[in-house]
Amino acid sequence: MPHAILNPQVRQGLRTPTPRSEPWVAHQKLPGYQPTPLRQLEDVARVAGVRAVHLKDESNRFGLPAYKILGASWATLRILERMLGSALEPWTNVDQLRERLAPLGRLKLITMTDGNHGRGVARVAQWLGYAAEIFVPRGTAQARIEGIESEGAEVTIVAGTYDDAVERAASSVAPGVILVSDHGWPGFEEVPSWVAEGYETIFLEIERQIADQQIAPPDLVLVQIGVGTLASAVVAHFRAEGRATFPTLVGVEPTGAACALHSIEAGKPVMLHAGADASIMAGLNCGTPSTAAWPSLEDGIDAYLAIEDERAREAMRLLAASGVVAGESGAASTGGLLELMKGVETRRVREALEVGPETRVLLISTEGATDPVSYRLIVGRSA
């Protein structure tokens, strides 16, 4: 059943330091950089009953079907710079970057994933001429595994859940083997914080697109949770000091893997069993929040929604009708908007947040059709 709560721990008036712009500068020097589009979705706004909906479409980022490479690349650069013991700058392309990193020798990047982050890490390894091994939980869609392998990485299937894959990756660190994780735990929080820094590129692009298109800023932002790394970047950007407006922030999770919502209710991080069958929103099938993201989830997100898979399917079809290709996790923010505005269980939260016909909404579609078979079954046509 859908579930919605106001966050009793949220810090009213929270202001965060201004996010770094250096990740965006670095991303613009990587092969194939282009800003992803910010789309106005009039039909989605009409169905949801709000004034306007704009969606940041991350279905094609550096030629990959998800945004995750932004965090993977920036975190890797920060790790390698520390290993090198000197600044990586100046460099203007990947060839120059490889020359700067030559003293480190040939390294191996590893991580765990439900698909998208792992493929991002694999692409970064390919750019740098490194090896890569990606740990995935049993039940990961074959198309996502093949996508990772297409980047030249080795894929290791772990018997168990995403959280089991986390343990396996963490135990595989060795000399010359670097863990580029977007999930944090006690004692391993700096790298995930660098991943979150990398996602600031999304929001700097949005700010420029809002200005260029003369769009009013959003009143409401819905963001997918997963382990919370993207959501922590949302908090960092939209609660930053000096902003002119501070929109309401709502986190969206599957009902079968609502680890942040249940953690907020408990007042501390909790672990759920979130196997491959927890939800079709595979990228959000996480059993526990990242400890690196938890302070932002606790202090900065105003409310949490847990949605059923059918809302994600409905959102995928609605987005497809508007010309947006979104996978199950990518469509979750749109599904969250539909649940918030139309759901019976969400009425109290909707009214408390004062969202309605005049609300301007920002959504992020975090992935394209990363599982083409599933996409075709749900939408009724290929991407």
Catalytic residue set:
68, 114
Amino acid at 176: G
Note the maximum CA span of the chain.
60
Residue 302 neighbours by CB under 8 Å, 6+ apart: 6, 7, 10, 248, 249, 250, 353
DSSP conformation letters of 186-204: TTB-HHHHHHHHHTHHHHH
Q: How far apart are CA 1 and CA 150, in angstroms?
A: 38
Name the nearest CA neighbour of 168 among 114, 116, 121, 111.
Answer: 111
Going from the C-alpha of 119 to that of each of 115, 180, 321, the distances in angstroms are 6, 12, 28
Name the nearest CA neighbour of 259 among 337, 162, 179, 192.
Answer: 162
For tokens 């008036």, the residue is 13
Amino acid at 10: V
Q: How far apart are CA 347 and CA 47, in angstroms?
A: 16
